[in-house]
């Protein structure tokens, strides 16, 4: 258990490091506007996909806890990410990271011939990658928050076991696809580009290397193959361009690490044992 005292630091409102450079490069009005927050992993999923596909967009950083009117117009729950289409009258929008990712996949496939999935000639392979992404959403993401928010030793021990089990389950799904599919899509395979599963899991695996390490003393699973995979992921250009400096994550996630009341809708759901919003 962390012995550091809660300093009371708040979440950041603006990107830093590589992410700031990327946000600045996408600050001008565009047909697509990504509503996001610099610390949010759900936003980072969408941001990475936009960068990987090379789809042009504008970044609009908002405070999701203040829920400004322009965010509520795009995302009724006031959650990020939101994607606004500015070239329609009236304007249209999408929310929920998984739905936005599906839209971007369809758009990139249709207009750019790009995809985060195996080719349509390998429908089974595409399904296996979707299974990987589904595992991340159902298991790895909630396990991350349960572990980080746990305050007593027993709960933290339980949390780290669950988080490690979720990583092991993802690795097993990667290896299954390696055996059963002819399409080697994703960074689990050397030299490949991002897969949907990489994009969906990446933000939390990345935060495990800084936030969980700092607040829970988390150590990554043993095994050269997973370590190499994670190194490929966090250093992959489209992913790295959306990452801020470590200080931003450590300060922004302090409220989760000490389980402050009403930290977020996600934190509240974890505390109540409910599905994530």
Mean pLDDT, consecutive 10-residue stretches, the chain (277 aa), reads 74 97 98 97 98 98 94 95 94 96 98 96 97 98 98 97 98 96 92 94 98 96 92 97 98 96 89 89
State the chain's mean pLDDT as an integer.
95
Q: What is the pLDDT of residue 277?
A: 87
- Which residue is it, tokens 């550091």? 4
- Strand 58-61: give its sheet, edge to edge: 58-61, 32-36, 82-85, 92-95
Residue among 31, 42, 49 nearest 103 (CA): 49
pLDDT tens per residue, range 241-254:
999 999 999 999 99
The CATH number of domain 17-112, selected from 3.40.30.10, 3.90.1150.10, 2.60.40.1260, 3.10.450.50: 3.40.30.10
What ranges do the domains of the chain cover? 17-112, 123-272
Cis before 157? omega within 30: no
Task: Write down the CATH number for the domain with range 123-272.
Answer: 1.20.1050.10
- Percentage above 90 pLDDT, the chain: 87
Supply the pLDDT for residue 1.
44
Question: What are the residue ranges of helices labelled H in the chain?
Answer: 17-25, 41-53, 69-74, 97-112, 123-135, 141-149, 153-180, 196-207, 213-216, 224-234, 237-240, 246-252, 254-257, 265-272
């Amino acid at each position: 258990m962390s012995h550091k005292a809660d300093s009371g630091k708040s979440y950041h409102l603006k990107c830093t490091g590589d992410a700031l450079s990327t946000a600045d490069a996408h600050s001008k009005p565009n047909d697509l506007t990504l509503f996001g927050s610099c610390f949010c992993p759900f936003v980072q999923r969408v941001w990475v996909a936009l960068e990987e596909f090379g789809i042009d967009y504008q970044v609009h950083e908002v405070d999701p806890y203040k829920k400004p009117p322009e965010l509520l117009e795009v995302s009724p729950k006031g959650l990020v990410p939101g994607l606004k289409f500015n070239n329609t009258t009236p304007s249209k929008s999408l929310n929920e990271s998984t739905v936005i990712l599906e839209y971007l996949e369809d758009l990139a496939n249709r207009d750019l011939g790009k995809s985060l999935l195996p080719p349509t000639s390998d429908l089974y392979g595409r399904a296996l990658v979707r299974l990987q992404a589904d595992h991340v959403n159902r298991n790895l993401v909630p396990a991350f928050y349960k572990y980080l928010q746990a305050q007593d030793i027993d709960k933290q021990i339980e949390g780290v076991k669950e988080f490690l089990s979720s990583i092991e389950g993802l690795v097993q799904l990667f290896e299954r696809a390696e055996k059963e599919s002819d399409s080697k899509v994703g960074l689990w395979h050397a030299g490949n580009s991002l897969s949907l599963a990489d994009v969906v899991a990446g933000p939390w695996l990345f935060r495990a290397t800084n936030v969980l390490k700092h607040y829970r003393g988390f150590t990554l699973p043993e095994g050269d193959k997973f370590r190499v995979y994670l190194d490929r992921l966090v250093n992959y250009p489209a992913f790295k361009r959306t990452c801020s400096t470590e200080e931003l994550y450590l300060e922004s996630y302090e409220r989760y690490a000490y389980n402050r009341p009403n930290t977020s809708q996600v934190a509240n759901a974890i505390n109540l044992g409910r599905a994530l919003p």
